[in-house]
Chain A
Amino acid sequence: MKTFKFIMVCCCLLMFQTVYCQQMNGYDIMKENDKQYNFSTEENTMTMELINNSGQKRVRSVLRFLKKDENKNTQMLIRFLSPADVKGSGYLLIKNKKKDESRYLYLPALKKARRISSGEDSDNFMGSDFTYEDLDEIDLENFSFKLMGVEKIDDTDCYVIEVTANEETKKISGYSKRVYFINKMTFVIHKVDFYDRRNSLFKNLVLKDIKLVYANNMYRPHVWIMQNLKTKHQTVLRFQYFKINEKINDDLFSVRSLERLN
């Protein structure tokens, strides 16, 4: 009898879950996905392969530290590890939710950090096919989300969500819309299609080698492949490791620390 009751409870929970999932809209799914970025600190190293249409490859590697608070004020420090001609260079970004920014660049030859002007979100990150916008989390309040259906990506059921910026965000975004393919079980992004301002598909991002990196619900893709469909240029990010929510001192995100990198 006990076993029967237990099975009934499980069935009810499963039915409730199914009904809940069926009722989830685009916003709910994105909100679940947003939990993936619910961290206070992150450290990672990555290599970046820039591959042009004739197959020529350039490889860069960087060490990246990120810290953010509950108000989404973000601090980021990047240290360039290779190639040799930029090794020792560093980049510091301190940004608050109001988009006030301080950016500093440290070049070993200059022997001092230099304040640089704020860039556009649609600027490319280190000459790759990624823009700063692609690497940043999206602020859910500034976008609208439409659930388009479910599709299989590499044998995984994924929600297909059309993401459109509101009028204010559209002015600074490089895209008219994006289409996210989000794992139904884990809410991790598997693929993104990017549409330019004329609404034609021009980039797609495929995320692979997705592994659990923190607690029992925080996943990170370890390989990101961004293809520019117009230029046929491709960027592959390969992450070596992620350290999530480990203590990073605030002092790390300072000009002092930037100048100490070398």
Chain B
Amino acid sequence: MKCIKYCLVILLSFIFLGKSFSQENDFKYSINGFVEIDHFSFFKEKRDFINHRNQSLLQLNIKSDFNDNFSFFSSVEFRNDLSDSRRDRIYLKEAFIDMFFPKIDLRIGKQVILWGKADGFNPTNNLIPTDYSDILDTDGEEIGILSANAKFYVNDWQIQGIFSPAFQASVFPSFNSRWQQNYPSLLSYNGLNLPTHFLWNNTEMHGNVFSDSQFAFKVSRNLKNLDFSFSYYNGLNDIPLIYNKIESVINDTINISITQNYYKHQVIGIDFSYILEKYVIKGEGAFFIPNSPKEAKTYFQYALGFDRAFNNIIYDKSLFVIVQWIQELKVKNLEYSSKDLNHLFQKNIMSRIEMELNRNMKLSLQLVYALKYEDFYIKPEFKYNISDGLNLNLSTDILGGNKSKEGFFSSYSDNTRVQIKLKYNF
């Protein structure tokens, strides 16, 4: 309720402030957004789990231009899920002011900051948390952070600095979500299969103290055929490190503690995109250097690939192809769980193909194959533009592969599903 009041007060105050301001100044504001109805069903139903989604979504965006160099933007989302009321929310997605000076752009407030030039996987993108409550549907689920974001323009160079005083964690699947990780009920111990008992250690809370603040900067340049940037991030990882420890074996039961640790780390990254004839070559890589605990180790993630448009991208009958290789390099013999969101992609090939059948219909196919786990994710999608602003999407998420390797996609092969979405932009 507090949240509703908070959002409405901000929205209304800016509308009224704008209206009164407009009496004397050249003030403009616009309201836009979208309404979406979204349904999905899993092919295999599971008892005690959420097996459907029937949600409606309204996003309202307000942009107010006080003058050419000063504006305000806010975005509020209203979500109602008939199948899972815990997903209901009224949520202030973004609310910030923009100030533009001759060589500096300044944005202050709650904002979504996305970094990286690769497609779908961006190791340099560490500033904002994400809502992973539905792991396959994270598009537009980035969570804005309260921050000051300044961009300086010096000749052809752009220097960006960001400071965020408060930490915000990502959102993870709820306990009866089909994405919740299952822990084994039996474990082998001294040659015997013994029942297990898992205990969650208290997670250290983070958020509103100065030591939990994060900062980052990026230096970028656009040349004739090449764009590149170097970046540095220092802050808490919004996806915790989860590690298990056998505490004791009592009465033939293994007691295992699970520790969830939001740890500080530094990330040094580089990304580029390079035009080679009709191809755009893209690369992005980052070193992740944890400050603590000892369980967290340094690792390097990168993505390298290309895209090629065989015609125009917007509106036209065209073919667009992305192919990308993703890899993680880590300390020898160290293994992460295949379900650890920090390490989902270890040796993967990703591809996306989009084909516009005509001016109103588009087919796309997304493929991810994990070489290490021999499992895959395939998403065929059909998009129909019913009228200007009104789109219908039909898609399926197909997960599968070699179950014995316990990869992410094969472990969740029961979560193969069909989705239908109707979206109207206004």
Contacts and interface: CB of A to CB of B under 8 A. Distances in A.
Contact of B105 (A110, A119, A256): A256
A114 B227 CA distance: 10
A75 interface: no
Contact of A255 (B222, B316, B317): B222
Contacts of A118: 275, 278
A260 B105 contact: yes
B158 A256 contact: yes
Contacts of A60: 315
A86 B425 CA distance: 9
Nearest to A105: B313
Contacts of A117: 275, 277-280, 307-309
Given A117-B278, A117-B280, A127-B314, A83 B425 contact: yes
B189 interface: no
B314 to A, nearest CB: 6
B312 A84 contact: no
A176 B151 CA distance: 49
Contact of B312 (A52, A102, A109, A123): A123
Contacts of B227: 115
Interface in B261-313: 273, 275, 277-280, 307-309, 311-313
B419 interface: no
A100 B275 CA distance: 11
Which among B113, B151, B359 has the highest number of chain A CB atoms within 10 Å?
B359
Contacts of B140: 109
A110 to B, nearest CB: 7
B389 A83 contact: yes
Interface string A116-160: 111110011111100000000000000000000000000000000
Q: Dominant SS at the A interface?
A: loop
B388 A58 contact: yes
A223 to B, nearest CB: 21
Nearest to A82: B388
A35 interface: no
Contacts of A86: 314
A85 B314 CA distance: 12
Nearest to B139: A109
Nearest to B140: A109
B105 A124 contact: no
B90 interface: no
A52 B309 CA distance: 24
Interface in A59-112: 59-60, 82-87, 89, 91, 100, 102, 105, 109-112
Contact of A123 (B34, B100, B308, B311): B311
B121 to A, nearest CB: 14
Nearest to B309: A117
Contacts of A84: 32, 34, 388-389, 425-426
A50 B313 contact: no
Contact of B425 (A85, A119, A124, A127): A85
A124 B313 contact: no
A78 B311 CA distance: 18
Interface of A: 50, 52, 58-60, 82-87, 89, 91, 100, 102, 105, 109-112, 114-120, 123-128, 255-256, 260
Given A58-B385, A84-B389, A117-B308, 18 more contacts: A58-B387, A83-B425, A84-B34, A84-B425, A85-B425, A110-B114, A112-B114, A117-B277, A117-B280, A119-B309, A119-B312, A123-B311, A124-B312, A124-B317, A125-B312, A126-B316, A127-B317, A127-B359
| 10 A-B pairs with the lowest CB-CB distances in the bound complex, closest first | A127-B315, A83-B388, A84-B425, A85-B425, A127-B316, A84-B389, A83-B389, A115-B273, A117-B280, A111-B114
13 contacts: A58-B388, A84-B34, A84-B425, A85-B389, A102-B225, A102-B275, A115-B117, A118-B278, A123-B311, A124-B312, A126-B316, A128-B315, A256-B151
